[in-house]
Chain A
Amino acid sequence: MRIGVFICHCGSNIAGTVDCAQVAAKAALFPDVVYATDPMYTCAEPGQAAIEEAIHSHKLDGVVVASCSPRMHEPTFRKTVERAGLNPYMFEMANIREHVSWIGRDIEANTRKATELVRLAVEKLRHNRPLQAQEFPITRRVLIIGGGVAGIQAALDCADGGIPVVLVEREATIGGKMAKLDKTFPTVDCSACILGPKMVDVAQHPLITLYAHAEIEAISGYVGNFSVSIRQRTTYVDWSKCTGCGTCTEKCPSKKSYDHFNEGIAPTTAITIAFPQAIPKKAVINKDFCRQLNGKKCAVCAKVCPTGAIDFAMEDSFVTENVGSIVVATGYDLMDWTIYGQYGHGRYPDVITSLAYERLMNASGPTGGHIVRPSDGKEPKSVVFVQCVGSRDPAIGRPYCSGFCCMYTAKQAILTKDHIQDSQSYVFYMDIRAPGKMYDEFTRRAQEEYGTHYIRGRVSQIFPDGQGQLTVLGMDTLLGRPVEIKADLVVLAVGIEASRGARELAEKLRISYDAYGFFLESHVKLKPVETNTAGVFLAGVCQGAKDIPASVAQGSAAAAKVLTLFARETLASNPQIAQVTAKRCVGCGKCLRCCPFGAIKSSLVKGEEKAEVIATMCQGCGLCTATCPQGAIQLAHATDDHILAEVNALCRL
């Protein structure tokens, strides 16, 4: 073999703590190495050109680049060597930046370690064989999980791009959190007016199949060919018959049902349609409050339903959909703020969440848009907003900022003044985070035009004063003195957390999630909507806090990724898959038992049972290789010989 080695300086990133020239000089002495150099920036255009040039002039048949993590630039350099006529798998990388230069300052030790890592890569490369990718057909349909604004945007963009969409929504209606909002910042335009048409588009689009009140049961397969089992949760209403006329909701005698859509600010009936613009506009029975389903005689809804859609015997059903790609847009939930004793543990009816306040202000809400106190139905004249309730609070394990609360609090203060001219709003804040376009101007308007009193500091206690008002004690840290405000209503800007069930879903999808349950993007800057699982993309708050414009942008970005993926009829398979040496296989089937993908089958070779790898199903984990006692099944590019060569390069004394 003729190997060329390139020790990248990465500017001073590597060269600052590694003697790259010395590493190159030592690498030149390694077996089969015929050329070694230390360019300044290997990944830059001249650096890549130099690799190509070296391949030609030194007749190289393998290349090692020692630079950053292969998770970053392995694909880049594989393309480089391919352009110069080499097989892309005749390339290895040594990670001397993240694993060497950035984690220690001892130049001597770093140089030694870098040299050894290069040796490791050279030894591995000596065992590499050219690998050829195969083409396999893909299912050009996409699954979108979550019908909030991010999911809706992704669904519409994909469908408009000609890709059939399967949209799965856990609630009875799509729309997500945005559908609950009254107005949106910074334009103060009506949320329903901008989201509503999009929801209708989803319902009417011929390429979108909507499963509402449904959840993901199981996912199998891989990029291009996922099989998804969807659990259609029982609604007790046959949606194929329900017309959404609402007669049942008018007649239902069980009127104390918790109203999830309205955040519980007023009770509702056991059979409900979430809100007038719901998509799909279908009724759902809340099992916990339905008389008939709790052993009492009732069935009023069944009697009044003009289409006979009520079915008390309904059970969950399952549908399987085949898709080639998945967009996850599962959004967020509010954290449980009642853990805070200083805000009353949820005992005071006039201490509410900002999302409940949105429903109070909303014309389609239970109060018809009149802001009233939940306790006595009176108009509040003094409203206190408390920010960062469960955000930026390491004491309860939530150090992250929820991102959009500063803005909606300003909006709510403005709207409060619009609704109740003689009201006064107060905002307790830690910092005002308003970095978006027109955002800072907006928060200033809240203060300067609408007279909202902003107090920098935390609230220490809220308690009823016994005369129908709440006493809010806090600290004004700018003035350095305590403040006490009499409030008719307190609105808490409750922090967000990962959507209920996010972790379980991540496991089904085989994508990573962070310590708080938010899904992990493939690269924080350069691959913000990709995950480490090919074909699975992220959109919206499920990846981390963001506001509506950012969620919509991500929805579109994820859709663009799906359309890119589906721009071709076929996908190239990863050739780094298991291969069986039939001669060595004794047909014991241990690999078959372990394979997580069912990618190994037993087939007869000259009358003997042998393992056979199904190339399109193998994902290249190598579990079979570690399981096979004879070493008959080997994961290409990570064979026993590859890893032994690496171990021996490190350990043989």
Chain B
Amino acid sequence: MPALANNELRIVGFLCNWCSYGGADTAGVARASQPTDLRIIRVPCSGRVDPLFVLKALLNGADGVLVSGCHPRDCHYGTGNFYARRRLEVLKRFLPILGIDPARFSYTWVSASEGQRWQKVVSRFTEEIHALGPAPRFEAVEPLAKACSWTQESKGPVSVISPELLEQLKKAIADKLPELDCVLGWQEGRDLLHSVPLFIRSEDDLTKLRCDATCHNNLVRYLPDLKGQKVGIIVRSCEARSVVQLLQEGLISREELVVFALPCQGLLDLPRLEEALGRYQRLEDLTLTETTLRLRVDGQERVFQTADFRQSRCEQCPGELPAIADQSFGDFSGQTASQTLPPELAFLDSLNLQERMGFWRACMERCILCHACRNSCPMCVCRDQCIAESREPHWQSAEASVKEKFFFQIIHALHLAGRCTGCGECQANCPVGLPIFALRAHLNRIVSELFDGYQAGCDPKAVPPLLTYSQEEAHIHERSWE
């Protein structure tokens, strides 16, 4: 399609067939003159509008996107627009973190009889988009070479599991093992500092078990694949929330699961530690206390304050364990969540919209589309069916452009809206160190604001907020077009 001539801008409308499309027809029948910028895509219901369509349009060159449906309580399908309202409001609040002006997206309700209202909505929205001017193109913005600052205000200890506690845990697992297909834990990886998952199937395997602050892999990621088997899993607060979330979504079965719970004060941020450590050949010894980490590397003694290398997400960890443990070990008291923002989110908050887009543009230059963020996410249950790689539906082209990479990040983030339990594995596993957890942290903040402090993974009986609705939304104040 040729670029638009004159000063017309690219505005895309998604209109439900029953009300708003009819309202636009009514406006036409009444010869209600309107700006010509808007192009209408007819959908059956505003509930059909996947927020990703809006982002696809905005990333691909739309200067504005408008979604319009039936008035709440007047949905042709009864409840479609109630869901749409929640999802589109989350989307609107999500846009700024990407560097997209939220004013470029709006959603509203126009009934089939409201031709005048439609004329007003189109005229107002078009005027507003013209006032903003053409939208900056993601692939054309200046990359912002600015690194996220990781320093934090409050610093806590990291997790150390005493040998006695470890023995207790091993004994409990050994007792339960005969009736289980396997138990998920951690073991030493390529060296003492790195852990990998351990699938305990025998008492021999059990000797390899370790559960300290280096063990950051979220084992819950494996649970959906083991459905149908009787599985034990060692969880700490973050893993426990992931378990709860999967239970809520029915992707794992409580009856097939035995949960061994451990307390946790915090985990080590290995990518940052590696950076501080520099290149090394051999890691000969490791001693970890709550406050210090002693390493003998290539014959040299290195001492680190664990507080400096505590994972940023551990600051926000509510600490307390959702009530799903079958067996608990150790003392769970003492930890409270800090009210500070995750540093990556605080960093993005400090940037303006243009800088944010530039920042992500720079990040996406580095993204290698390895999908490690997705593959390590306990909530990414689509596995091989991820829409980022499917032909039908064909959401993403195979082109490895910054735009497509960014869209992949957006898919991952939006699919986690209201579901992300904040384990931070996505970011911890990013080989190029992109602060992508910021997108999830921002979504979690939005969900909490909109839905009475809702946090994913805290209550096995709760309904995820984007899979339900209320007829009157306490915290969603739609704009008036008057």
Contact = CB atoms under 8 A, between A and B. Distances in A.
A588 B251 contact: yes
Interface residues of B, dominant DSSP? loop
Interface string B1-36: 101111010101000011101101101110111111
B74 A643 contact: no
Contacts of A119: 1
Given A103-B27, A589-B250, A514 B113 contact: yes
B393 A510 contact: no
A189 interface: no
A596 B4 CA distance: 40
Interface string A541-560: 00000000000000000000
A651 B36 CA distance: 16
Interface string B63-92: 000000010011111111001000100000
Interface string B339-369: 0000000000000000000000000000000
A590 B386 CA distance: 16
Contact of B49 (A104, A113, A507, A626): A626
A294 B79 CA distance: 41
B287 interface: no
Given A532-B76, A619-B77, A626-B49, A590 B60 contact: no
B47 A71 contact: no
A539 B432 CA distance: 68
A586 B61 contact: no
A69 B25 contact: yes
B23 to A, nearest CB: 10
Contacts of B32: 103
Nearest to B468: A593
Contact of A643 (B5, B43, B75, B249): B43
Interface residues of B, number: 76
B41 interface: yes
A190 interface: no
Given A512-B111, A512-B112, A627-B467, A635 B48 contact: yes
A70 B468 CA distance: 32
Contacts of B249: 588-590
Interface in B394-414: 394-395
Interface in A624-647: 625-627, 629-632, 634-635, 638-641, 643-644, 646-647
B25 A98 contact: yes
Contact of A631 (B8, B76, B387): B387
B392 interface: yes
A510 B75 contact: yes
Contact of B395 (A584, A620, A640, A646): A640
A460 interface: no
Interface in A547-577: 576
A307 interface: no
Contacts of B12: 647, 650-651
A491 to B, nearest CB: 33
A631 B53 contact: no
A594 interface: yes
Given A532-B18, A586-B383, A626-B48, A116 B390 contact: no
Contact of A98 (B28, B57, B74, B77): B28
A594 B418 CA distance: 15
A72 B112 CA distance: 13
A395 interface: no
A103 B28 contact: yes
A597 B44 CA distance: 15
Contact of A120 (B35, B39, B392): B39
A480 to B, nearest CB: 35
Contacts of B468: 593
A627 B383 CA distance: 17
A596 B468 CA distance: 11
Given A586-B381, A651-B61, A112 B5 contact: yes
Interface residues of A, number: 74
Given A520-B112, A588-B251, A653-B3, A630 B386 contact: yes
A641 B394 contact: yes
Interface in A579-624: 581, 583-584, 586-590, 593-594, 596-597, 619-623
Nearest to B137: A653
Interface in A345-368: none
A622 B47 contact: yes
A525 to B, nearest CB: 11
Nearest to A513: B74
Given A98-B25, A512-B19, A520-B112, A644 B36 contact: no
Given A109-B36, A630-B385, A641 B48 contact: no
A12 interface: no
B77 A623 contact: yes
B287 to A, nearest CB: 43
Interface string A513-536: 111000010000000000011000
Contacts, number: 218
Contact of B48 (A106, A514, A622): A622
A651 B62 contact: yes
Contacts of B385: 583-584, 586, 630-632
* Residue from B4, B24, B381, B385 with most neighbouring chain A CB atoms (10 Å): B385
A629 B5 contact: no
* Residue from B33, B41, B383 with most neighbouring chain A CB atoms (10 Å): B41
A56 interface: no
Contacts of B83: 594, 623, 626-627
Nearest to B42: A70
B1 A649 contact: yes
A593 B47 CA distance: 14
A594 B77 contact: no
A411 interface: no
B135 to A, nearest CB: 10
A601 to B, nearest CB: 14
B41 A120 contact: yes
Contacts of A596: 77-80
A318 interface: no
A56 B393 CA distance: 32
Given A71-B17, A512-B112, A512-B113, A103 B39 contact: no
A643 B50 CA distance: 10
A394 to B, nearest CB: 14
A594 B36 contact: no
A71 B25 contact: yes
B382 interface: yes
B56 A644 contact: yes
Contact of B57 (A100, A515, A651): A651
A644 B39 contact: no
B196 interface: no
B2 to A, nearest CB: 9
Given A71-B21, A117-B39, A622 B45 contact: yes
A590 B467 contact: yes
Nearest to A93: B42
Contact of B61 (A112, A643, A653): A653
Contacts of A625: 48, 50
> What 8 pairs between A and B have smallest CB-CB spacing?
A98-B28, A622-B48, A640-B393, A621-B77, A651-B60, A623-B47, A631-B393, A630-B385
22 contacts: A71-B17, A72-B25, A95-B40, A103-B33, A103-B34, A104-B33, A104-B36, A117-B40, A512-B113, A532-B22, A586-B385, A588-B251, A621-B47, A621-B77, A622-B43, A623-B83, A626-B49, A631-B385, A638-B44, A644-B56, A647-B12, A649-B1
Interface of B: 1, 3-6, 8, 10, 12, 17-19, 21-22, 24-25, 27-29, 31-36, 39-45, 47-50, 53, 56-57, 60-62, 70, 73-80, 83, 87, 111-114, 137, 224, 249-251, 381-383, 385-387, 390, 392-395, 415, 463, 467-468
Interface of A: 69-72, 95, 97-100, 102-106, 108-110, 112-113, 116-117, 119-120, 506-507, 510, 512-515, 520, 532-533, 576, 581, 583-584, 586-590, 593-594, 596-597, 619-623, 625-627, 629-632, 634-635, 638-641, 643-644, 646-653
